[in-house]
């Protein structure tokens, strides 16, 4: 439950709004964040932020006004000021040509299952010690430098509206560690990523071992410049998560779908879109994601199927789009979903996947993806860390930075096999406020006929 002092102020603000006859949504966000940033095998920066934000939204008829305050929230007067600003925006705003949906918390939720006090307060010192152990284990073995970052913290979200007395609360912790090893002369980069929900999940030995497993391939072989054209590609977890994000962004959001801007706009639920090996769900109950039990219209979030066995299952509607196009809200008034790409029946181990792939490119990371033509689902992005050439079922050489420019449909219709093992792929960002997000994806995805559009002369 939210700290009683803050909760009391927020409930008083709700009462105040009710007395003034204002349909009001209050969304409270508090983060305790810390991060260490590494460069040149040292800590370049250590930060900590304690921030509180309040979003207030007022709806009157067909008018809506919003206000966000980032400040230490400690008095009803502050909330009244924020409320008055949102109310003023609403009053002076323009009427929409549809009836906006006003938020209402469907049921009271108090979710602290993802909260670990030890992770909330994990010290920069203990982070530094773990990183130092990894660096000490690996660095002497070559001409290496380590970079990276380790972000951790807690996020509290509390959402109430004047529509009823229900309260939605969630407190959680999350962490993400990325360590990058760079060879000083040849400039190749290896990365190990970890996502955490609890403080004690990381092992320096495991991280060091993951680096050491790949290092011989990089040390013994020059970079390989693959040909442009179509290739068999074995995608790894981060690349799969990128493909899923592009797929959702380009095809499954309500507004672009309704307006003919999605690559699925000419389809309807029930149509076959992809190989039957593709199932993508938004599932807050999946244990690998940072499950979000409610959205910021108060809707209880439950399993929502987007693609099931290659068949178009559903489109996501936030309340604004649902109101505009007279659809049902689907629990997507939030940025951080709980996406899951369902596993297949392929072997879980990477070694077995390599044998299955036989001759292919291994691309575990896709960097800086974008959609040049969303209406066709055309995407582009380039390989980054740990990208390797597979020959006769084995890793034989690192590959130079290679660009894939292809359509989501082509990639997801040319799947050869999908791993039976799932992993968490942490997709969190801290651009404005702490926004933990993780996707559950198979450990690998093998696809034929993927278009390599360009290859650099370097890693």
Partner 1 sequence: MNMDRSLEFSIRQELKRMFDSGCSFADARFYDEDSTERLVLYDGNLEANYRRRERGIGVRVLKQGAVGFAATADLDAISACFDRALANAQAAAQLLGFPKDMGRAEPVKGTYQPPFRQDPFELPLPEKLSLLKSVDERLKDKTVEHRMVSTHFQRRRIFYFNSEGTEIERSCLNTFAGMVVMAKDKEGRTQRRSYELDSDGTGTRGFEWLADPKAFAEHAERIKRELGEIVVSETLPPKRRDVILLPGQGHLQVHETIGHPLELDRILGYELSFAGGSHVKPEMIGSLRYGSEKLNAKVMVVANSPGTFGYDDEGTPQHEYYLIKNGILVNVLCCRLDLAEANAKAGKVVVRESGASARAAGFYKTPIDRMTNVCVEWGDDGTLDDIIKATEDGVILDMPVSWSIGSNREHFHFGCEIAWEVRDGRVTKVYKNPTYQGHTLEFYNSLDKVGDRSTWRLFQVANCGKGEPNQIMEVGHGVPVMRFKNVLTGEGR
Identify the three-state secondary structure at position 127.
Answer: helix
Nearest approach, Cβ of residue 144 and partner 1 (Å) = 11
- Asked whether position 98 contacts partner 1 by CB under 8 A, the answer is yes
Contacts of 336 (CB under 8 A, 6+ apart): 290, 292, 428, 435, 436, 437
Residue 165's SS3 state is coil
Of these, 10, 340, 378, 438, which contacts partner 1 (CB under 8 A)?
A: 378
Tally DSSP H helices, then E strands, for the chain.
Answer: 10, 22
List beta partners, residue 388: 362, 398
Q: What is the closest distance, in whole angstroms, from the C-beta atom of residue 165 to partner 1 in the complex?
A: 27
Least gap, CB of 177 to partner 1 (angstroms): 9
Burial of 236 from C-beta contacts in 10 A (0-12 / 13-18 / 19+): buried
Task: Give least dist CB 228 to partner 1, A.
Answer: 9
Please pick, from the candidates 3, 15, 77, 88, the single residue that binds partner 1 as defined by CB under 8 A.
88
Quote the CA–CA distance of 280 and 84 in Å, as a whole number. Answer: 42
Stretch that binds partner 1, among 181-189, 331-339, 344-352, 438-446 (CB under 8 A): 181-189
Contact pick of 84, 232, 376, 394 for partner 1 (by CB under 8 A): 376
Q: Which is nearer to partner 1, 15 or 454 (CB)?
A: 454
CB of 349 to partner 1, least distance (A): 26
Q: Which of 189, 318, 333, 437 binds partner 1 (CB under 8 A)?
A: 189
Of the residues 20, 93, 215, 219, which one makes contact with partner 1 according to CB under 8 A = 93
Question: How many other CB atoms are found less than 10 A from the CB of residue 148?
Answer: 22
Residues in 115-134 that interact with partner 1 by CB under 8 A: 123-125, 127-129, 131-132
Radius of gyration for the chain, computed over Cα atoms and rounded to the nearest angstrom: 24
Taking CB under 8 A as the rule, which mask of x and - marks residues 381-400 in contact with partner 1?
xx-x----------------
Site for partner 1 in 269-328 (CB under 8 A): 320, 324
Residue 375 touching partner 1 (CB under 8 A)? yes
Among 1, 3, 47, 117, binds partner 1 (CB under 8 A): 47
User: Cβ neighbours of residue 110 under 8 Å, at least 6 residues apart?
Assistant: 1, 167, 169
Tokens of 395: 């890793």
Tell me if 124 sits within 8 A of 161, measured CB to CB. no
């Amino acid at each position: 439950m939210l700290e009683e002092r803050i909760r009391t102020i927020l409930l008083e603000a709700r009462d105040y709004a009710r007395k003034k006859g204002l349909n009001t949504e209050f969304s409270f966000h508090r983060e305790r964040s810390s991060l260490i940033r590494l460069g040149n095998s040292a800590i370049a920066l250590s930060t900590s932020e304690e921030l509180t934000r309040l979003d207030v939204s007022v709806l009157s008829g067909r008018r809506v006004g919003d206000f966000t305050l980032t400040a230490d929230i400690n008095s009803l007067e502050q909330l009244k000021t924020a409320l008055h600003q949102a109310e003023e925006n609403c009053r002076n705003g323009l009427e929409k040509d549809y009836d906006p949906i006003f938020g209402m918390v469907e049921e009271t939720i108090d979710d602290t299952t993802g909260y670990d006090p030890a992770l909330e307060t994990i010290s920069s010192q203990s982070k530094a010690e773990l990183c130092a152990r990894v660096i000490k284990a690996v660095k002497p073995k070559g001409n290496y430098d380590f970079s990276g970052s380790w972000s951790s913290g807690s996020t509290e979200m509390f959402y109430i509206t004047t529509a009823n007395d229900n309260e939605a609360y969630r407190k959680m912790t999350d962490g993400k560690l990325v360590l990058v090893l760079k060879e000083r002369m040849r400039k190749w980069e290896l990365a190990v990523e970890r996502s955490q929900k609890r403080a004690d999940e990381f092992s320096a030995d495991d991280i060091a071992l993951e680096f050491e497993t790949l290092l011989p391939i990089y040390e013994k072989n020059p970079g390989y410049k693959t040909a442009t054209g179509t290739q068999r590609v074995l995608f790894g977890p981060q690349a799969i998560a990128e493909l899923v994000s592009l797929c959702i962004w380009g095809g499954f959001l309500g507004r672009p779908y309704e307006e003919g801007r999605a690559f699925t706009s000419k389809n309807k639920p029930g149509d076959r879109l992809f190989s039957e090996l593709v199932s993508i769900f938004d599932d807050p109950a999946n244990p690998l994601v940072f499950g979000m039990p409610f959205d910021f219209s108060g809707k209880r979030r439950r399993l929502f199927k987007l693609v099931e066995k290659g068949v178009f299952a559903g489109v996501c509607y936030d309340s604004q789009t649902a109101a505009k196009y007279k659809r049902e809200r689907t629990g997507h008034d939030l940025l951080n979903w709980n996406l899951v790409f369902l596993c297949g029946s392929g072997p879980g181990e990477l070694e077995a996947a390599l044998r299955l792939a036989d001759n292919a490119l291994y691309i575990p990371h896709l960097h800086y993806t974008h959609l040049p033509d969303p209406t066709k689902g055309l995407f582009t992005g380039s390989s980054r860390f740990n990208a390797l050439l597979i020959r006769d079922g084995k890793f034989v050489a690192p590959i130079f930075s290679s660009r894939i420019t292809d359509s989501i449909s082509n990639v997801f219709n040319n799947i050869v096999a999908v791993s039976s093992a799932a992993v968490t792929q942490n997709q969190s960002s801290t651009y404005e406020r702490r926004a933990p997000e993780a996707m559950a994806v198979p450990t690998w995805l093998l696809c034929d006929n993927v278009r390599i559009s360009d290859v650099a002369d370097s890693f």
